[in-house]
Amino acid sequence: MIYRIRHLTRYDYSGPATLSHNESRMLPRELPWQQCLSSAFSITPVPVRLRERIDFFGNRVAYFSTETVHSSLQVVVSSEVQTRARPAQDIFSTIRWEDAIADVAGALTSGNRDSIDARLFMLESPYIRHQQALARYAEGCFGVGRDLRDALMCLNQRIFDEFVYDAEVTTTATPVLDVLASKRGVCQDFAHLMIGCIRALGLPARYVSGYMETLPAPGQEKLLGADATHAWVAAFIPGWGWLELDPTNGCLPDERYIVLGWGRDYADVTPLKGVMTGGGDHELTVEVDVVALN
């Protein structure tokens, strides 16, 4: 699949801003199954500098600064991306979830580079703490001796079945245990919840940020700007790699999913963040279009 993506972010301020420094994580990653064919920024007011770097997690980060007086900031990122099917897990890489815990725990002794690197994603992070309540919620899927992939698929489906998508009940700061109690939230909440469950059992999991192609209801045209960023999960399977799962939709990501980046949680892959002088209060507008070209 080839997709054209347009991601607009606009801040309108109640007062003049004189200086702003910003970081954007809205450039698609290069992956074995994903190629970024082109990407370009359009920033108003025009920044005095715009530079790209790779962060600790391998994500593409654009830094820009604005020094002119401005009452609004608009950032538009336009990209074309080609996606292919994710690598399939081979039949020889199955592993019991208890053995996977032992593998990662003993990685420093065994010298397994992949398992050593995955250990980072077992640690607590700004939005996800180790909570026994999360381990208890996951226990129904992680029975004695169960294959890790089957257990992960079960947890993915359970969250999809038991939770309601509701954009009115949570914010980016809503604790995971509050989401577990209310059984409501958005994709970010469900990703944080699933990651918390997996980590609470002693297994690595990371947060994936990106886009997903959405289709309008039958007989209706697709509205411009109606798409959004999406969040899902990748869990580590020793001996094979990272399995992506989407608890919001109860499925495994495929060619419709475009990866921007990954990290420990949302804090590591915030699409746009920064600091400024002045500005007062602000109003935020975000518009995203994901259009299939073939």
Tokens of 166: 């509701």
CB 231, CB 239: distance < 8 Å? no
91-253 matches 2-84+270-292 in CATH topology: no
Mean pLDDT of 244-249: 96
- Tell me what pLDDT residue 225 has: 47
- In the DSSP assignment, the letter for residue 88 is P
Q: Write the pLDDT tens digit of every residue in 3-20.
A: 999 999 999 999 999 889
Q: Average model confidence (pLDDT) for the chain?
A: 93
Q: Which residue has the tokens 């940020």?
A: 209
- Tell me what pLDDT residue 43 has: 96
Q: Write the pLDDT tens digit of every residue in 26-46.
A: 999 999 999 999 999 999 999
**How far apart, in whole angstroms, are the C-alpha atoms of residue 182 and residue 194?**
15
Tokens of 134: 């999360």
74 pLDDT exceeds 90?
A: yes
189 pLDDT exceeds 50?
A: yes
Mean pLDDT of 108-119: 90
Q: Burial level of 278, CB count in 10 A (0-12/13-18/19+)?
A: middle
- In the DSSP assignment, the letter for residue 251 is B
Residue 138: what are its φ and ψ, rounded to 5°? -80, -20
What is the percent of the chain with per-residue pLDDT over 70, rounded to a whole number? Answer: 96
219 pLDDT exceeds 60?
A: yes
138 pLDDT exceeds 90?
A: yes
Q: 180 in helix, strand or coil? A: helix
Q: Write the pLDDT tens digit of every residue in 58-69.
A: 999 999 999 999
Among 119-123, 146-150, 226-230, the least confident range:
226-230
32, amino acid identity: P
Rg (CA), the chain: 20
CATH class in words for 91-253: alpha beta
**How far apart, in whole angstroms, are the C-alpha atoms of residue 94 and residue 91?**
6
Q: Which residues contact 146 (CB under 8 A, 6 or more apart)?
A: 96, 97
**How far apart, in whole angstroms, are the C-alpha atoms of residue 37 and residue 4?**
10
237 pLDDT exceeds 90?
A: yes
- Tell me what pLDDT residue 26 has: 96
CATH class in words for 2-84+270-292: mainly beta
116 pLDDT exceeds 90?
A: yes
Tokens of 32: 């074995």
Q: Report which of residues 105 and 220 the model is more confident about.
A: 105
220, amino acid identity: Q
Q: What are the boundaries of each domain within the chain?
A: 2-84+270-292, 91-253
- Tell me what pLDDT residue 61 has: 97
Tokens of 218: 């039958």
Q: Which residues contact 287 (CB under 8 A, 6 or more apart)?
A: 6, 7, 8, 224, 225
**How far apart, in whole angstroms, are the C-alpha atoms of residue 17 and residue 278?**
4
**How far apart, in whole angstroms, are the C-alpha atoms of residue 76 and residue 271?**
12
Q: Which residues contact 101 (CB under 8 A, 6 or more apart)?
A: 201, 202, 203
129, amino acid identity: R
177 pLDDT exceeds 60?
A: yes
249 pLDDT exceeds 80?
A: yes
